[in-house]
Structure 1
């Protein structure tokens, strides 16, 4: 079982900032910005490339949740970045789809 599924199941603790029936958001334990929140579906999906016509709503739902959290944390007007890595070459370390919400400082563009 992946680490994010263990968080969903309550086997591991996380600093939660949002939760509903289908999604969970929590602070990243290794933040890359003053605000660094991970937003995940509770359903285990390994890769962004596993999203298709049957589950495409998940990406939209996670974006809406990111917007809500950004507003609650006061970074909605100053700006924030959302990022989804897909596969090991992209930097994906946990193979459960997750959206990074990053903000609270001026971001540099890097690739």
Structure 2
């Protein structure tokens, strides 16, 4: 299929755009991680980075991304389990730093392709879920075709052979 030619790979994004350092010059999240967009980085190391969502769906809405370009969640393989787990841990740390203590009222998840606007893997960390508006409840809805929780993604990855 012609559409598969430019499908991002987990390691490098689209090969025509990504340099050897895992940077995709066309990717907005790669630019944010590199400090090119003026976005405040709440966390940034060589593995993962975190910043606020530009269109928050909850009072606390953070995006946790790999610091190097990694394709969307559909392109992940079993070897990415530890990366996803680190992303979730960073999300929990960010909530804790911002005095969100009720982890029963949070949502950690990914938009399932083709329902993601940026192909760089990104975890949505939303809290409190009970304060999300109608549209956010739709966009980040559990058990939908377009959103998968971090736990569901980890189950999928762990079941791969």
User: TM-score, normalising length from structure 2?
Assistant: 0.61
Q: What is aligned with 2:67?
A: 42
Contact persistence 1:17–1:26 (CA under 8 A): yes
Q: What is aligned with 2:44?
A: 19
Q: 1:8-87 residue pairs with structure 2 within 5 A? A: 8-77=33-102, 79-87=105-113
How many residues end up aligned between the 2 structures? 109
Q: Could you give the per-residue CA deviations for residues 18-44 of structure 1, whole angstroms, max 9, x where no partner exists?
A: 222211100111111111100000121
1:96 partnered with 2:120: yes
User: TM-score, normalising length from structure 1?
Assistant: 0.86
User: Which protein, 1 or 2, shows the higher relative CO under an 8 Å CA cutoff with sep ≥ 6?
Assistant: 1
Q: Which has the higher strand share?
A: 1
| Structure 2, gaps ≥5 residues long | 1-25, 142-161
Q: Which has the higher helix share?
A: 2
Alpha-carbon RMSD across the aligned residues, in angstroms, is: 1.8
Report the alpha carbon displacement of residue 107 of structure 1 after superposing the two structures with TM.
Answer: 4.8
- Tell me how far apart the structure 1 counterparts of residues 74 and 82 of structure 2 sit (CA, whole Å): 14
| Structure 1, gaps ≥5 residues long | none
4+ aligned runs moved over 3 Å, structure 1: 107-111
**Secondary structure of the corresponding residue to residue 94 of structure 1:** coil
Residues 29 and 68 (structure 1 numbering): CA distance in 2 closer, same or farther, change over 3 Å?
A: same
Q: What is aligned with 2:5?
A: none
